[in-house]
A and B are shown apart, each in its own frame.
Chain A
Amino acid sequence: MTRHIAQKIATAFVTIFVIITISFFLVHIMPGDPVIHLVGQEEYYYLLDNDPETLNKLIARYGLDDSLPVQYGKYLKNIVTMDFGPSYTNQKPVVSNVLKACKWTLFLSIPTWIIGGLLGALLGVIAGWKPGKLFDKIMTPILLIVNTIPSNCFCLILLIFLAYRMKLFPINGMVSPGVEGMARVQSILQHMFLPLIIMILYRTSGDFMLMKSAVSQVRSEEYIMTAESKGLPSRKVLFRHVMKNAMVPYATSFCMQFGGILSGSMIIEVVFGWKGMGTILYNAVSNRDFPTAQFCFLLSAALVVFANLISDIVNAAIDPRIREEGIQDA
């Protein structure tokens, strides 16, 4: 088991290195000159015509005149030292900009991941355990509809009815102006309620479908019939046999969802004016803000790989067949 995990960790590091390299070159081969965004279009053209020396100094200051391999070397060093320099757009340190945005995204995505995951699993088990019954008949179409409506459309509908018409929630933003201390915390909770509910609904509906499908599939297996015919109480059959087997695909999906925890709420962030990771990444790519974009890619990639790793470990822990395969492979 330890060897299996060590192998997976080594693979994860190699994967991250490959992603880092690919993202560096992808960002640099994108058409467009970052200097235009650094100085502004009007000033860029003026300097180009009248004072190219100033433009060259600026290019040198940001290391944009280095060859690609040199820039790549500097980039790797930045990763090791976690110093990505200043953002091209607001001159503040990239790491603090991005971490600040991460913090706001996590306020939405962590509760979504946990609550949506648990709720989706619970409802999915109930619907899958007794398919075709009243609960299944009600929940499946409702959550299917939620799952198929585009999130921006759903956001706007709720925004208009609950925030604008009924004034139950703030229309936009992350916190009301001019509030301090506990009132500020309360204001943040109030602002995050609507986007959070929407994200949880989407996550619940997706997880519900997955769990329902896994449970109903396992339930039709012969060994379940055997367990029932032996006279095992339904509860024991469900927890000892059905859940244990249905949990493998669900746990994989649940862990993988963790990988998207920083990048999975972009649309909702934009609609609700939530200045999180989605917004900062979008702006960084639009403005050719190389350091910010690269750090965002790095964080997202590391999380996806980490989630994949956790998923492998959890699966191995749940399913002895996977553990054994790992030992045999070794």
Chain B
Amino acid sequence: MKKKTVSLLLSLAMCLTMLPGQSVFAAETSTETETEAVSESTGNHVENLIVGTIADQNVFNSLTQTDAFGRMNYNGFTQGDFVYRDENNNLQPYFWKSFEISEDGKQIDFTIPLDAVWHDGEPVTMDDVVFTFEYMRDVRKNGSLQNLTEVKVTGDDSASLIFSEPDAYYWINSSCNNNSCVYAKHIWEGIDDPTTLDGPEAAIGCGPYKLVSYDSDAQVSYYEAVPENDFLGEITVDKVTVQSYSDETTLMMAMMNGEIDTMYNYANPIDADVIDTVQGTPDLDLGESDFTGCYQMEYGKDRAPGNDQAFREAASYAIDYNQLATTINGEYGKVPGKGVIPPSCKGYDESIGSLEFDADKAAEMLDEAGYKDVDGDGYRELPDGSQMDLTVIPQYSSKSMDMRNRIAEVIMNSLDKVGIKNHVDNDSLSNSEVWEDTVTKGNYDISITLTTSGMASYSTAFRYFMGELRDGESSWLWGTIRDDSFRDTYYAMTQAVNDEQYIENNQKLQKYVADTMAAEALCWETAFFPYRTDKYTGWENYPSWGTVHATTWYRLTAK
């Protein structure tokens, strides 16, 4: 009886306090590429697709890219993204019906649909498009639009972006990973700081789905299709529910139990050790693909011994790459090639050989290069006889520091075994800014960093190896390659006006790092983005991305 009374009181108290906690609102709220309808089926619509994620669901703002809402918008979800990347990493029009980049790389001509609507019912117009680019350049100070000189309207549904520099290819490629989409002039005009707008209007877009409601206590949000915004054909998924979980383990448990249909976690695949527990679950596909990102290490070349190519070549033989692959990606990891970027990246040069582990050869090469144990303490000295003790700095990460520490441990043990004394810089482990300061000043002998799949898709790992940037840039100065030819080749790659130029320069960079051993990848990984196969058909597992992307909304159908 007493238990019942306590339970009743507890329930009553919760009832009173919980109800206001629920936040619900209704958002009534040279080669020309053209949009191709990707959906052929008109039957068997998916009634409600449930997507699991690890991101929080507290912020619902189209411009901040924060939380699950912001991240889901990388998939042409509630926003009208101009373009999207297909499964082969090629750009395709999305909100834009077509686009064409000029030969000099200074102009993009595009067309827009005339029947798209904002989620509050207002029509999307060319005014909105012009406003978007001016707002992103002048108010949001978008770096890739700094050389945009004019948005020229050429017709009811056509316009051109005109750049003073050949930035068109760069902008469209980098913007694709950055949720570049059209914004509503009637909502955002006059708002300098988008984070200050936190009402329902902040979530309004012109994507194929509108936010219907969310419950931040339950960490869930609900969306329904907007048939007018059918950029790639008929929308076959009627409703979408996004549900958040605390970590990968609980996310996978929920999927195995059938609570969610698929997962989306931006560029973060499920860890190999968690995947091992998922394997064998009926009606569940592991969503396996080659990962485009990778962990990499760079020798600090501002000081000895990292500035000696003979040392770098010898040290590369000392590292046990099989152990590294197992550490990073379990049984799925592969020994990487000397060109750093994985085969799944655009421009991968398969003629460049792989890294090799041969401790005896490493010791022999170190001896030949003059790195000998002169004082008999078991560790080698520099060729001039002075002490050698390498400083290793794994990149700080609040979420995956344990993995980086394990990687550092494998590298350090490998080097130790051939008599190279080393230590980890403990200060850098504690804080991202301390790490950033150390790496920017080049106060390291070996740095361990990560290239995400988003970065790998265009800017590549080479960006992190640069010791000198072009004028006006000073961010992410993590590398110590101070060679003008490397820097110029990198910018020639990012400012390419077409794929051929991009690939040509990308391959030069691969060759450069392979020849100089300035840096190396640590493992080529397999990515896992699992999904259930019992209810729906038409899943497409994009490499390094998973099954939630811009075409999911048009291709997925119920069985």
Partner-binding segment picked from A1-9, A71-79, A127-135, A181-189: A181-189
Chain B neighbourhood of A227, CB < 8 A: none
Asked if A31 is an interface residue, CB under 8 A from chain B, the answer is: yes
Q: Do B58 and A90 have beta carbons less than 8 Å apart? A: yes
Restricting to A15-37, which residues have a CB under 8 Å from any CB of B?
A: 30-33, 36
Taken together as a complex, chains A and B put the C-alpha atoms of A189 and B10 apart, in Å, by: 9
Q: Do B472 and A49 have beta carbons less than 8 Å apart? A: yes
Per a CB cutoff under 8 Å, which of B21, B146, B243, B432 touches A50?
B146
Chain B neighbourhood of A36, CB < 8 A: 433
Q: Do A272 and B246 have beta carbons less than 8 Å apart? A: yes
Q: Do A164 and B433 have beta carbons less than 8 Å apart? A: no
Asked if A319 is an interface residue, CB under 8 A from chain B, the answer is: no
- Type the 1/0 row for A151-169, where 1 means its CB is closer than 8 Å to any CB of B: 0000010011001100100
Per a CB cutoff under 8 Å, which of A50, A91, A104, A163 touches B198?
A91
Chain A neighbourhood of B222, CB < 8 A: 177-178
Q: Do A31 and B250 have beta carbons less than 8 Å apart? A: no
Chain B neighbourhood of A48, CB < 8 A: 474-475
Partner-binding segment picked from B11-19, B85-93, B116-124, B358-366: B11-19
> Smallest Cβ distance from B332 to chain A, in angstroms?
23
Q: Do B17 and A273 have beta carbons less than 8 Å apart? A: no
Per a CB cutoff under 8 Å, which of B17, B244, B249 touches A156?
B249
Asked if A107 is an interface residue, CB under 8 A from chain B, the answer is: yes
Restricting to A108-141, which residues have a CB under 8 Å from any CB of B?
A: 111
Taken together as a complex, chains A and B put the C-alpha atoms of A286 and B545 apart, in Å, by: 27
Asked if A271 is an interface residue, CB under 8 A from chain B, the answer is: yes
Q: Do B250 and A172 have beta carbons less than 8 Å apart? A: yes
Chain A neighbourhood of B434, CB < 8 A: 31
Restricting to B211-247, which residues have a CB under 8 Å from any CB of A?
A: 215-220, 222, 241, 243-247
Taken together as a complex, chains A and B put the C-alpha atoms of A30 and B430 apart, in Å, by: 11
B17 to A, closest residue via Cβ:
A103
Q: Do B143 and A50 have beta carbons less than 8 Å apart? A: yes
Asked if A146 is an interface residue, CB under 8 A from chain B, the answer is: no
Tell me which of A32, A33, A175, A178 has the highest count of chain B C-beta atoms within 10 A of its own C-beta. Answer: A175
Taken together as a complex, chains A and B put the C-alpha atoms of A286 and B430 apart, in Å, by: 11
Asked if A247 is an interface residue, CB under 8 A from chain B, the answer is: no
Q: Do A50 and B256 have beta carbons less than 8 Å apart? A: no
Provided the pairs A46-B475, A107-B14 are in contact, do residues A92 and B253 lie with their beta carbons within 8 angstroms? Answer: no
Asked if A173 is an interface residue, CB under 8 A from chain B, the answer is: yes
Q: Do B473 and A49 have beta carbons less than 8 Å apart? A: yes
Chain A neighbourhood of B195, CB < 8 A: 91
Restricting to B416-464, which residues have a CB under 8 Å from any CB of A?
A: 430-434
Taken together as a complex, chains A and B put the C-alpha atoms of A188 and B215 apart, in Å, by: 13
A184 to B, closest residue via Cβ:
B18
Q: Do B59 and A273 have beta carbons less than 8 Å apart? A: no
> Smallest Cβ distance from B413 to chain A, in angstroms?
27
Per a CB cutoff under 8 Å, which of B58, B254, B433 touches A31?
B433
Q: Do B254 and A49 have beta carbons less than 8 Å apart? A: no
Chain A neighbourhood of B21, CB < 8 A: 100, 103
Chain A neighbourhood of B472, CB < 8 A: 49-50
Chain B neighbourhood of A30, CB < 8 A: 431
Asked if B398 is an interface residue, CB under 8 A from chain A, the answer is: yes
Per a CB cutoff under 8 Å, which of A43, A171, A175, A271 touches B218?
A175
Provided the pairs A32-B432, A50-B143, A184-B18 are in contact, do residues A159 and B253 lie with their beta carbons within 8 angstroms? Answer: yes
Q: Do B11 and A189 have beta carbons less than 8 Å apart? A: yes
Provided the pairs A33-B433, A45-B475 are in contact, do residues A92 and B198 lie with their beta carbons within 8 angstroms? Answer: yes
Chain B neighbourhood of A51, CB < 8 A: 141
Asked if B25 is an interface residue, CB under 8 A from chain A, the answer is: no
Taken together as a complex, chains A and B put the C-alpha atoms of A223 and B246 apart, in Å, by: 55
Contacts A173-B244, A178-B222, A273-B247 known; 9 new A-B pairs at CB < 8 A? A30-B431, A31-B433, A91-B196, A171-B254, A181-B15, A182-B15, A185-B15, A189-B10, A270-B247
> Smallest Cβ distance from B61 to chain A, in angstroms?
9
Chain B neighbourhood of A270, CB < 8 A: 246-247
Q: Do A159 and B141 have beta carbons less than 8 Å apart? A: no
Show 29 residue pairs from A and B whose CB-CB distance is below 8 angstroms, ordered by the A residue.
A31-B431, A31-B434, A32-B431, A43-B141, A49-B473, A50-B141, A51-B141, A54-B141, A90-B59, A90-B66, A90-B198, A91-B196, A91-B198, A103-B17, A107-B14, A156-B249, A164-B253, A171-B245, A172-B250, A172-B253, A173-B218, A175-B217, A177-B218, A177-B220, A177-B241, A180-B22, A181-B15, A185-B18, A275-B216
Asked if A299 is an interface residue, CB under 8 A from chain B, the answer is: no
Provided the pairs A31-B431, A174-B217 are in contact, do residues A273 and B246 lie with their beta carbons within 8 angstroms? Answer: yes
B58 to A, closest residue via Cβ:
A90
Q: Do A32 and B433 have beta carbons less than 8 Å apart? A: yes
Q: Do B433 and A273 have beta carbons less than 8 Å apart? A: no
A106 to B, closest residue via Cβ:
B17
Taken together as a complex, chains A and B put the C-alpha atoms of A248 and B473 apart, in Å, by: 66
Per a CB cutoff under 8 Å, which of A50, A171, A184, A186 touches B259?
A171
Taken together as a complex, chains A and B put the C-alpha atoms of A186 and B18 apart, in Å, by: 11
> What 8 pairs across the A-B complex have the smallest Cβ distances?
A45-B475, A273-B246, A177-B220, A172-B250, A32-B433, A164-B253, A46-B143, A175-B218
Q: Do A49 and B475 have beta carbons less than 8 Å apart? A: yes
Restricting to A29-66, which residues have a CB under 8 Å from any CB of B?
A: 30-33, 36, 42-51, 54
Taken together as a complex, chains A and B put the C-alpha atoms of A162 and B14 apart, in Å, by: 24
Asked if B257 is an interface residue, CB under 8 A from chain A, the answer is: yes
Restricting to A245-276, which residues have a CB under 8 Å from any CB of B?
A: 270-273, 275
Taken together as a complex, chains A and B put the C-alpha atoms of A111 and B11 apart, in Å, by: 13
Chain B neighbourhood of A174, CB < 8 A: 217-219
> Smallest Cβ distance from B434 to chain A, in angstroms?
5
Tell me which of A43, A188, A272, A286 has the highest count of chain B C-beta atoms within 10 A of its own C-beta. Answer: A188
Provided the pairs A92-B198, A177-B220, A286-B398 are in contact, do residues A164 and B245 lie with their beta carbons within 8 angstroms? Answer: no
- Type the 1/0 row for B38-81, where 1 means its CB is closer than 8 Å to any CB of A: 00000000000000000000110000001000000000000000
Provided the pairs A31-B434, A189-B11, A273-B219 are in contact, do residues A171 and B474 lie with their beta carbons within 8 angstroms? Answer: no
- Type the 1/0 row for B118-146, where 1 means its CB is closer than 8 Å to any CB of A: 00000000000000000000000101001
Taken together as a complex, chains A and B put the C-alpha atoms of A107 and B476 apart, in Å, by: 44
Chain A neighbourhood of B257, CB < 8 A: 164, 167, 171
Asked if A176 is an interface residue, CB under 8 A from chain B, the answer is: yes
Q: Do B246 and A172 have beta carbons less than 8 Å apart? A: yes
Q: Do A273 and B250 have beta carbons less than 8 Å apart? A: yes
Chain A neighbourhood of B474, CB < 8 A: 45, 48-49
Q: Do B198 and A177 have beta carbons less than 8 Å apart? A: no
Chain B neighbourhood of A92, CB < 8 A: 198
A186 to B, closest residue via Cβ:
B11
> Smallest Cβ distance from B468 to chain A, in angstroms?
14
> Smallest Cβ distance from A57 to chain B, in angstroms?
9
Q: Do B245 and A172 have beta carbons less than 8 Å apart? A: yes
Q: Do A271 and B246 have beta carbons less than 8 Å apart? A: yes
Taken together as a complex, chains A and B put the C-alpha atoms of A203 and B268 apart, in Å, by: 37
Taken together as a complex, chains A and B put the C-alpha atoms of A42 and B253 apart, in Å, by: 34
Per a CB cutoff under 8 Å, which of A100, A180, A189 touches B14?
A189
Restricting to B284-302, which residues have a CB under 8 Å from any CB of A?
A: none
Taken together as a complex, chains A and B put the C-alpha atoms of A164 and B257 apart, in Å, by: 7
Tell me which of A156, A184, A189, A286 has the highest count of chain B C-beta atoms within 10 A of its own C-beta. Answer: A184
Chain A neighbourhood of B398, CB < 8 A: 286
Provided the pairs A47-B141, A273-B245, A273-B246 are in contact, do residues A163 and B14 lie with their beta carbons within 8 angstroms? Answer: no
B142 to A, closest residue via Cβ:
A46
Taken together as a complex, chains A and B put the C-alpha atoms of A171 and B196 apart, in Å, by: 35
> Smallest Cβ distance from A318 to chain B, in angstroms?
25
Taken together as a complex, chains A and B put the C-alpha atoms of A272 and B245 apart, in Å, by: 9
Q: Do A175 and B253 have beta carbons less than 8 Å apart? A: no
Q: Do A188 and B143 have beta carbons less than 8 Å apart? A: no
Per a CB cutoff under 8 Å, which of B196, B259, B476 touches A45?
B476
> Smallest Cβ distance from A280 to chain B, in angstroms?
10
B67 to A, closest residue via Cβ:
A90
